[in-house]
Amino acid sequence: MHSDHRRPTLESVAARAGVSRATVSRVVNGLPVTSASQESVQRAIAELGYVPNHAARTLVTRRTDLIALVLPEPTTRVFSDDPFFPGVIHGVSQELEAADKQLVLMLAGSAASHTRIERSIAAHHVDGVMLASMHGADPLPTVLTRIGIPVVCNERSLGPTSVPYVGVDNMGGAAAAVKHLLDAGRTRIATIAGPQDMIGGIDRLTGYREALRGSSRRSIVAVGDFTMDSGASAMRQLLEDDPKLDAVFVASDLMADGALQALRQSGRRVPDDVALIGFDDIALAAYTDPPLTTVRQPIVEIGRHMARQLLRLVGGETIEPTVILPTELVLRGSA
């Protein structure tokens, strides 16, 4: 290998400080020692520039202080322009930093990477795992739980087993948006739903339907995949299905922005001809023309809560397996 000057070990620190390895270990880990040894050990550590070897410690404690965040998403979406993932990462990283854990990011785009991740986690390479943005009945959370690895998901699992998760009030948020449109006197309210193999997509559509059920309005539905392009084409399809629609609830801001462009191209004015409400409240929402009325979900908080729950689990605590964060209708110009 390359230049690797032998780094100082516990042994060498002990020798220099004139104490045993065990005592140095105690000092390093903050266990009680006499102030005399305390001091000489501290000095030796400073002089030698000693840093504990992480692997050796892990070998005996069986803790890695590594936490994985798995994004089982084709990378196209994860890292195109959707600020959801960066937001979650941001929140997660804040909490992990406070707990002095490191974040391992695993993108599970392909099937190959899926198995690779499973192997890596099974090797007890990390202390715990967060899974965000799952599709369908992903077996991963079940598999990992069975192995004995603490797992926390974003949104409830569509699979057979229940896994602790942090979700948001998708249905409530969607319903609030639709009610707002009804209250404003809109009569033909369509929706652009998200992917129907994801909780976010499913529950927001359900919320839309439930809110509409109370009224005499019928539902008009198109489905997108949370990308801007899919929002635009879904909007065009809706306009074809019902040229007289006067409102749309869109299951994500990115799709809503696409819809906005499609509406503009079709000659509709927003909100005069068609009212538009999105979901997420990403930064972009405040900058569209007109600014987007949307249902805010606390993205960064989702990350923070996932991390916090997982850290408790890793620490051996028992946790409330379900955390639901509130959503909130943010009124801007588009509805």
Cα distances from 309 to residues 94, 180, 304, 306, 314, in angstroms, run 13, 34, 9, 5, 9
Rounded CA gap, 68 and 54, in Å? Answer: 17
Rounded CA gap, 101 and 1, in Å? Answer: 28
Is the torsion defined by CA of 201, 326, 137, 70 positive or negative?
A: positive
Residue 211 binds which one of DNA, a copy of itself, none, with CB within 5 to 8 A depending on kind? none
3-state secondary structure of 286: helix
If the CB atoms of residues 24 and 254 are measured against DNA, the closer one turns out to be 24
CB 95 within 8 A of CB 308: yes
Site string for DNA, 48-67 (x = CB under 7 A): --x-xx--xx-xxx------
Shortest gap between Cβ of 64 and a copy of itself (angstroms)?
Answer: 7
Q: Does residue 321 have a cis peptide bond before it, meaning omega lies within 30 degrees of 0? A: no
Residue 316 binds which one of a copy of itself, DNA, none, with CB within 5 to 8 A depending on kind? a copy of itself
Site string for a copy of itself, 283-302 (x = CB under 8 A): xx--x-x-------------
Cα distances from 64 to residues 42, 106, 152, 223, in angstroms, run 25, 16, 18, 42
Rounded CA gap, 289 and 331, in Å? Answer: 14
- Check binding of 237 to a copy of itself (CB under 8 A): no
Residue 269 binds which one of DNA, a copy of itself, none, with CB within 5 to 8 A depending on kind? none
Residue 33 binds which one of a copy of itself, DNA, none, with CB within 5 to 8 A depending on kind? DNA
Residue 75 binds which one of DNA, a copy of itself, none, with CB within 5 to 8 A depending on kind? a copy of itself
Is the torsion defined by CA of 161, 87, 279, 321 positive or negative?
A: positive
- Check binding of 7 to DNA (CB under 7 A): yes
Question: Which residues, numbered 148-177, are part of the site for DNA (CB under 7 A)?
Answer: none
Question: Which residues, numbered 160-219, are part of the site for a copy of itself (CB under 8 A)?
Answer: none
Q: How far is CA 196 from the centre of its chain?
A: 18
User: Which listed residue (100, 183, 272, 320) binds a copy of itself by CB under 8 A?
Assistant: 100
If the CB atoms of residues 1 and 36 are measured against a copy of itself, the closer one turns out to be 1
CB 251 within 8 A of CB 191: yes
- Check binding of 87 to a copy of itself (CB under 8 A): yes
Name the residues that contact a copy of itself, by CB under 8 A.
1-5, 7, 51-56, 58-59, 62, 64, 66, 75, 78-81, 83, 85-87, 89-90, 93-94, 97, 100, 102-107, 113, 116, 119-120, 122-125, 148, 150, 228, 257-258, 261, 264, 282-284, 287, 289, 316
